[in-house]
Amino acid sequence: MLNTATEIQQLKDAIKEHGTVDGNGNYSVSYGILFDKTANILEALNGTLRAAKRQKKVAFDAELLMMPRDKDVQVVLIDA
């Protein structure tokens, strides 16, 4: 089992790899794409997202992201 720091780094890498740069120069990716692309590497994507949000590494407009309801919610990397 990976530790939180390793999982957050994998999350950040996935956002950079699969996302696009927004008007503020931050990487951004939809939750649906992130969910699909990290299914094999991050077992607890929501837990990793919540930990990363608490550490101010990412931002998104929801308490908890759920598929398919939140597939279009943007996850923004604020600490590359």
Domains along the sequence of the chain with CATH: 4-77 (1.10.10.1540)
How far apart, in whole angstroms, are the C-alpha atoms of residue 11 and residue 77? Answer: 9
pLDDT tens for each residue of 46-70: 999 999 999 999 999 988 999 999 9
- Full strand arrangement of the beta sheet holding 27-30: 20-21, 27-30, 74-77, 58-59
Where residue 2 falls among pLDDT bands split at 50, 70, 90? Answer: low
pLDDT tens for each residue of 6-36: 999 999 999 999 999 988 899 999 999 999 9
